[in-house]
Amino acid sequence: MGWSRQSGGPYVFDVAGTPPAGIGAVGEEAIDSDGVSYSCTAPAPTAVWVRLVAEGQQAVSFVLENRTDDPGSPATGQMWLRTDL
């Protein structure tokens, strides 16, 4: 786990370990001058790819919940993946 960068390429942060229950495993985060990319893997057989764009020094916090129902009152910006559909 940690930051790496190929010559002239984006900074990449490899994430290892087990995610909290109900949250898909985060595979890789690549940060470049154009924004932020997350590669997320949900439990089989579902896979998901999400691209988030950030500018400047903007902080990005990203959580993708695996759910079998919609939340009663989701917070602004909250995202979830329906695993039962």
Residue 82 pLDDT: 83
Contact between 54 and 36 (Cβ < 8 Å): yes
Summarize pLDDT for 50-73 with one digit per residue, the tens.
444 444 444 455 567 788 888 888
Q: Give me the pLDDT at residue 78, please.
A: 78
Highest mean pLDDT among 10-14, 36-40, 59-63: 59-63
- The pLDDT value recorded for residue 61 is 56
- Name the residue ranges covered by the structural domains of the chain: 8-82
- This prediction has a pTM of 0.32
Is the confidence at residue 80, as pLDDT, over 50? yes
Beta strand segments in 1-85, E: 2-5, 11-14, 25-32, 35-41, 48-52, 64-67, 79-82
Residue 48 has pLDDT above 50, yes or no: no
